Chain A
Amino acid sequence: MTAAHIPERARGRRRRAGRRATVPLTVVSALVATAALAGCGQQRDDDVYTVLNSSTDDSYHGWDAATLSRCSKRLGITIEQQSVPAAQVMTKSLRMASSKSLPDVIQFDASEMPTFAEAGGLIDLRTLGLSTQDIPRGIVDFGSYKGTYYGAARTVNTLALFYNKDTLKKAGLEVPTTWAEMRQSAKKLTKGKQYGIALSAGGAEDGVFQFTPFMWSNGGDESHLASKQVAQALDYWKSLIKDGSLSKSTVNWTQADVNDQFMAGNAAMMINGPWQVETLNTKKNLDWGIARIPVPKAGDDSVGPLGGAVLTVPKTGDTAREKTAAKIIDCMAGEKEQITYARNSWMVPANEKAAAVWRKEVPELDALADQVATARSRTAKVGARWSSVSLALQSAFQSALTGQSSEAALQRAQQRATSGK
């Protein structure tokens, strides 16, 4: 340091004169410096690999820990998981990127992956030797951005119609398959404290996720929100509220709230996903069934949203580690692990062969597997712009459900979504 060039005598005097002053100063700067260094200079351990995921939930954390310990053994390395809340995976990863301390594998929600890929943070998994054989085209697309395969899915999920078997039987109703049938059944099932149907139209991604099957099955499209097809889908939701078969509180409900309402007997049917099954099954006397989401008219395809997470390898610049990271993904997303994970989480295995095995094991979720086969990825068309579109759409359906006309609300949403480009 520069002090070395100062003559011995001068340095001595300087030190004395400033002693009282420099002591607190140096202590503080030393503290700050160590804090700053500790923040960015995370040293990678040679044999320890990290997977960043959002498995903060006790059960998910446990399942992942088991998977990782099996993969650790197989690959002869140590794999650790670091779990942060789902909403923080992206911001945490970005911060880690700027401090050059990225983990070896990041599990992104599939709707967020394009953003990270577009920023140039991900590696093409095919170049790392991962194959896409036996993975259905839709699910390869699900993990791809602009044609490059960045993310391997272990399992995927989608939405379906859950119904209370006893309630439907008592009312002598069949499981609805079309919009008209669902509207009628919901109306008949609404009595007292019980609504016919529950769904989430909350002001977050939950609500948008739930709106997509209605929008898509009717031929609507997220790249053109102000279309007749989207307006019709929204009007259909409005009609359910108008009939009184859907609670007005729907605009304030998350998907978990919807599940609570269904479990409490406040709703005879609900739109929800398989990740609720674990909770649903805690209520022993609740006999629920599952079906595909009703379509506008008989014969239409029921197109749901493809949900779930993908495993990605971020660019760390360390080729050897990146190759090992791909092996970790290969193990985690291997057929056997897929089935184990699917069995735990009630989601559908991504791999065709694994899905076939799983279907035999849990025939009651057959409808879900069918729905996955036709499901669509939210980001396939708009890519990294999805978050803007989603925010605009949230605002639109909430305006429409609380009084505005669907057309006007969607017109505004279209403007908002495109101005954010």
Chain B
Amino acid sequence: MSTTTASATAPAADHPTTTVKKPDPARARRRRRLSQWGFIAPAVLFMVLFFGYPLVRNVLMSFQDYSPSTFFDGKAPFNGTDNWSKVFQDDLFGKALWHTVVFTIGSLIGQFGIGLALAVFFTKRFPLNGVLRSLILLPWLVPMVVSGIVWRRILDQDTGVLNSFLDTFGLGGATPWLTSPGMALFSVILVNIWIGIPFNMVILYGGLQEVPKELYEAASLDGASAWRTFRSITLPLLKPVITVVLVLGFMSTVKILDLILALTDGGPADSTQTLGTLTYQNSFVQLDFGAGAVVGNVLILISAVFAVFYLRANRSEGK
């Protein structure tokens, strides 16, 4: 056994003298740097292959005439800004952009507000606290497409459970949840809020556990009201967690696709068309990959802006 360890640390047999030599500091440094790169290299390679390459390809594709025949002859001639002007001139793009903004802001406000309220609620001790908390996690476990399909049935204007439920209370049981263009986006947001609450609640609940109990004691000794305690202690100390929740929530909401496809297919009359569904429609229904790439790039750009905010916020927290 001892021989193997020796040969592992000693250099290979062809240069037995090198070990005896005094180590050359420059060479040692070079070697160290090389080995450092060795550890970073797999990550860099991974990033370049699976993030860099698709990203660059997507940007390039948005300036190319990329059609089904490209898959056969590999020819995708560059066509300048044709794809971009085509997409921007289509009034569907403006609509989709607006819907995306409304959808994202609406979802975030709802998810975060209710998530925070529930998180605060569950910091109180009461029987069945744990059971209830895990029940609220359920929407998180259900795949997005399944939620979409189930909610589509629940929200059906005539045969949906929600309307017949409302009807029993005399609350006007014929609400056109998904069938009126004015209402559909709102309903889709509601479903997305339902899906997003658990995530917000869990992270915020975790953050609340970190707030020292003494601060609350001190506050109650000072006679602070519940609202005042929440505003002056809970919120400021929760700030870093809130940033994380909101930014992550933003990223997953802005690119929404599966939920909308399952609920409304972008309809009725394009009233729930978002940038996500537009990319899908351009690329995979119309097979106009150039136009699809344009919308995709716009989405990436929006996300990138928020990613920068996120990194900034994190850096200042680290100090």
A204 CB, nearest partner CB in chain B, Å: 5
Residues in chain B near residue A16, CB distance under 8 A: 11-12
| CB <8 Å contact, A98 and B176 | no
| CB <8 Å contact, B269 and A94 | no
Residues in chain B near residue A120, CB distance under 8 A: 69, 72-73
Residues in chain A near residue B181, CB distance under 8 A: 398-399, 402-403
Interface residue B287 (Cβ < 8 Å from any Cβ of A) = yes
Interface residue B74 (Cβ < 8 Å from any Cβ of A) = yes
Given contacts A94-B71, A118-B68, contact A252 B264 (CB under 8 A): yes
Interface residue B224 (Cβ < 8 Å from any Cβ of A) = no
* Cβ proximity bits A123-154 to B, threshold 8 Å, 1 near / 0 not: 00000000000000000000000000000000
| CB <8 Å contact, B74 and A98 | yes
| A219-251 residues at the B interface, CB under 8 angstroms | 247-251
A197 CB, nearest partner CB in chain B, Å: 13
Considering the chains assembled together, what is the distance between the CA atoms of A21 and B74 in angstroms? 37
| CB <8 Å contact, A249 and B285 | no
Across the interface, B265 reaches (CB within 8 A) one of A97, A203, A266, namely A203
Interface residue B249 (Cβ < 8 Å from any Cβ of A) = no
Interface residue B284 (Cβ < 8 Å from any Cβ of A) = yes
| A178-217 residues at the B interface, CB under 8 angstroms | 193, 195, 202-204
Interface bracket on B:
35 or more
Considering the chains assembled together, what is the distance between the CA atoms of A236 and B194 in angstroms? 38
| CB <8 Å contact, A402 and B285 | no
Across the interface, B67 reaches (CB within 8 A) one of A13, A21, A119, A403, namely A119
Residues in chain A near residue B38, CB distance under 8 A: 18, 20-25
| CB <8 Å contact, B269 and A21 | no
| CB <8 Å contact, A394 and B267 | yes
Interface residue B252 (Cβ < 8 Å from any Cβ of A) = no
| CB <8 Å contact, A115 and B287 | yes
Interface residue B41 (Cβ < 8 Å from any Cβ of A) = yes
Interface residue A387 (Cβ < 8 Å from any Cβ of B) = yes
Residues in chain B near residue A118, CB distance under 8 A: 68-69
Q: Main SS of chain A's interface residues?
A: helix
B61 CB, nearest partner CB in chain A, Å: 13
B175 CB, nearest partner CB in chain A, Å: 11
Interface residue B220 (Cβ < 8 Å from any Cβ of A) = no
Considering the chains assembled together, what is the distance between the CA atoms of A28 and B48 in angstroms? 13
Considering the chains assembled together, what is the distance between the CA atoms of A403 and B284 in angstroms? 29
Residues in chain A near residue B152, CB distance under 8 A: 252
Residues in chain A near residue B270, CB distance under 8 A: 203, 395, 398
Interface residue B51 (Cβ < 8 Å from any Cβ of A) = no
Considering the chains assembled together, what is the distance between the CA atoms of A115 and B68 in angstroms? 7
Residues in chain B near residue A419, CB distance under 8 A: 90
| CB <8 Å contact, B68 and A25 | no
Residues in chain B near residue A116, CB distance under 8 A: 68
Given contacts A20-B38, A119-B67, contact A91 B284 (CB under 8 A): yes
Of B128-136, B154-162, B203-211, the one with at least 4 CB within 8 A of chain A? B154-162
Given contacts A32-B49, A97-B72, contact A24 B266 (CB under 8 A): no
Residues in chain A near residue B39, CB distance under 8 A: 24
Residues in chain A near residue B92, CB distance under 8 A: 416
Considering the chains assembled together, what is the distance between the CA atoms of A183 and B61 in angstroms? 50
Considering the chains assembled together, what is the distance between the CA atoms of A99 and B286 in angstroms? 21
Residues in chain B near residue A98, CB distance under 8 A: 70-72, 74
| CB <8 Å contact, B69 and A252 | no
Residues in chain A near residue B11, CB distance under 8 A: 16
| CB <8 Å contact, A202 and B267 | yes
Interface residue B281 (Cβ < 8 Å from any Cβ of A) = yes
Given contacts A21-B37, A387-B285, A420-B286, contact A249 B156 (CB under 8 A): yes
Interface residue A391 (Cβ < 8 Å from any Cβ of B) = yes
Residues in chain A near residue B68, CB distance under 8 A: 94, 115-116, 118-119, 121
Interface residue A261 (Cβ < 8 Å from any Cβ of B) = yes
Interface residue B229 (Cβ < 8 Å from any Cβ of A) = no
Interface residue B146 (Cβ < 8 Å from any Cβ of A) = no
Residues in chain A near residue B67, CB distance under 8 A: 119
B293 CB, nearest partner CB in chain A, Å: 15
| CB <8 Å contact, A252 and B73 | no
* Cβ proximity bits B34-77 to A, threshold 8 Å, 1 near / 0 not: 11011101100110010000000000000000011111111000
Residues in chain B near residue A252, CB distance under 8 A: 152, 156-157, 178-179, 264, 267-268
| CB <8 Å contact, A20 and B159 | no
Interface centre among B14, B41, B70, B267 (most CB of A within 10 A): B267
| CB <8 Å contact, B268 and A251 | yes
| B85-102 residues at the A interface, CB under 8 angstroms | 90, 92
What would 14 A/B residue contacts be, using CB atoms closer than 8 Å?
A20-B38, A21-B41, A115-B68, A119-B69, A119-B71, A202-B265, A204-B265, A248-B157, A249-B157, A251-B268, A252-B156, A252-B178, A261-B159, A394-B267
The 3 A-B pairs with the shortest beta carbon distances in the complex, nearest first, are: A21-B38, A203-B267, A119-B68
